[in-house]
Structure 1
């Protein structure tokens, strides 16, 4: 019976017959690989001691598991997902990440069967499926199911935020993910110019549920998309409790590196009940968490008290309203700029809204502009006042409300998807066809920096150019964004997450 004991699929046949092939036939093996998508998956090369629960755990992060058939003698199994879409997602994921059962790599492909017809009298299989169904519905798994699921995945998730138009804080992540279990530790960092985080749950089942529910979701409307994978780590080592990392089980940890520490009473409350402070956090966190918990796209509340920024430590010999408009315009639509008359190393910048102000502050605070490290904070002012009629303020105040150079005035613009921190590599677009690499290298060299690398895109309308430093790239962006290349074609310049 080819290892089939008390469960069968239709007529009791061998696994190779079930999947439309036989051993030793290359042509038929090819047909197996090319089987059309099906919600039934064929899993091969399982270790001898693999349990049904461990096989089910492979599918659990991708959707509901509705049936299973194990073929012990052949080290194979068939797994039926609730939908074909879930099966496709599972196969696509395991095409790039090799699945393991008991540290043994296994192989997954579509089956030629569209459903499994198993013997309903197999109480063991039905009990396992019911237990897993309870887990997927938010119930408590039995000890054997718990052990198998724990062996199949890590309690640590790796989170990447794509299209990060608004800032995502450690507290926002804690609020969103705590809906699926107790969040123990979080570490945030930037890698390859992308905001990332490692987040550890108290058990792997919660991590699986969170991945299933949140992967691909947007924290805010049309932006801040969560990309979630399991980490190879099983435990995070957090040294400091600050705005970059936190261990909710150890409120006594120091802040370190001059970072503000979390209040010990707040940390203790988090460690006891991860949901207890939902309403007490700022509106940004609470709104984001509520939206994620409801399983829908959300626009979180205001990021700060106003959309006005105070920028200080400017190079007063070099800075102009236009240079500030161009640089801060990378992160939002600048409405007004005012360089302070009695303190010309400081300026007020009014963005379209508070979220854009928060985004600009998070990316530009501490960056170098004209040789000086600028400081960016939220201002107590609600608007930037224009000079009274007839009063000459020496051109220190500019109104850009009707500027044609706003990057984000069109809803759904692709510019929302390409917002990155300042970097040495710049993305160029709207390049005329007759402009050469040498022309662009010379143009960017004339801004006072050194061009380290250059690459045209295939259509030659876009390119990447890498300067020696982030400061040089920032200077080049200020000088050359909207530069007239002739024929009324204006160059578009933005920071890139890519390297050449």
Structure 2
């Protein structure tokens, strides 16, 4: 074997119950590693997405003999170890256990510290952050700020369990393209745990939100676009604001149901009622919020966005003259 090609094994290494796997598919999931290794024994710990290309991992077996068994099996097998069709190189690690360093940031808590790489503060609105993180459970509060590390947010969940499920799913991932302004390439999330347990939020603003307290005052200077003059910059009268939005949906490639709309619009607050109807050959919907503030935030955040990737089901929003929908069951 020439020295340039990558050997699948180094026999000189001291066996360890921790194996080092290389050449994995990018962002390989822990489940995929366990699937590969569990025929050989009990796995007690894993560390995925290691290395500059996030394509290496460590797997720790309960017992040294199980690790030796796996290495010997693939050393003598004509079939290489594979994950998603990629040949995986396996060797003993020079560590004898996987230590998940409990440095600050690793001790699970209910508040996440999220660094959003590759964006300026104005690029990712607090509503988009809320939309992404509330997929994992009720978000109580969000505070955003700029630090030397970049644009950061603190996100408070009910408990450490919910926070860790959000962290495990989103750490290292990007915010979906369709939620970002055109000029942003991609923005990776780096997520650790914060030592905070309860964020102190004094105002609802475009920098901070408390979703548990509807009576918190809105900071008028900080809520862009909410305190609009009645006459717009072009001198035309602007539509009066309302707690009910009228949504027109363009490019209807997929069916848009009440459930779909409820999921999209409830990211911004409680949706009280939804009515969908056909008008002039297009689909429209009315969405009712408890107050104008929530409706205005949703309108600003969602205007022009598409519900589905690829430009499908594009939303155009205006204020409705209705204030309370009469929805029959």
- Superposition TM-score tier, normalisation by shorter sequence: 0.3 to 0.5
More helix by share: 1
Larger radius of gyration: 1
Higher RCO, 1 vs 2 (CA within 8 Å, ≥6 residues apart): 2
Structure with the larger strand share: 2
TM value normalised by structure 1: 0.29
Q: Give TM-score scaled by structure 2 length.
A: 0.42
